[in-house]
Structure 1
């Protein structure tokens, strides 16, 4: 005896293919389920968005700024930041996420300081890279100057180079900008010693050493 379900399924006519079961996936359904396709079209997660932004910042970023950029409530941003910080600590990562000076930023973990110091100091005798020389010149001629200002003049992020120059003793912190509270940097006595100068007034004029069409030269020498 045919089952009750089979009574509702019409028999195929001659030359016709049998009907597909109702639960068989359609071609469009199979294409939509292609591996990775949905992930490529979806927006990044909140955690991923926060990590991407914090990897490129020069200064600690306030929660309200992150909330505006990611279009999420500030409380949700604050909770996500603390979740990331706790996750990095639990996993024993070499970096952590800290709330400093009213904002959030990545820092190398304190327990890794000896390793980082050895890495930087092992290259003390090596010549400075082009990026380090450019950054050092900006600090020397514009001091005291913030990281953001250095990056704006160079046109690239200079955060890592500034940390290297600081660890090498060529530049140091010189207080905070009264308007934006950004950390300011200046050259050190060791910088003068290495260049054989008595004071900054003996720095040479930059104009003869740079192309006439170099943008920003006026800013650098002011």
Structure 2
């Protein structure tokens, strides 16, 4: 028989077994979404999620990916190709001839390029774009509008007065009022040689040279858009006229 126990003293509390310390929560549970959600719920005064319950994540319904429709794609037109070519320009910085442009576009001739360029310029004017396509016998360029050239030079700090000698002004005036004049015609009008002055005006981009494809290939001189810009005219037709300047 087991030994009899002594009566318990009411003033002495019974000893209880000490439970082993609980293992610390895994690190990945300390910063779990549940704990984060509960803390946020307490701060916002909203009911917290019950422990052990997974938090429902917002679901975004994704529409099944549609196959691209060929009809929705933007067609590449000859106008777009011309605009892209002129935007990039040639590697040497020279204008792009119509024939070269046409050689990169299927079923488009050099003559059609001229009309397409005119259509692009009409679109630019309608949209009040800051650029335009200029062209001459050498080819086409996409550049800043001539009337905005002063702003460009001011922005770059390149604006400066154009200083011309009296002889250069004389030559320039003849070219301006007699667009397409040849060097020989200009020499006769002045009574002296003008080739060196013409070359100087071409370098300053006040005069440009056109050489017709036919024969005889006589160089003809015209004023440029920079000339219009500096003299405040939209074209040589806006220059002041005098009866003495007209042919008799």
TM value normalised by structure 2 = 0.33
Higher relative CO (CA 8 A, sep ≥ 6), structure 1 or 2? 1
Larger Rg: 1 or 2? 2
Higher helix share: 1
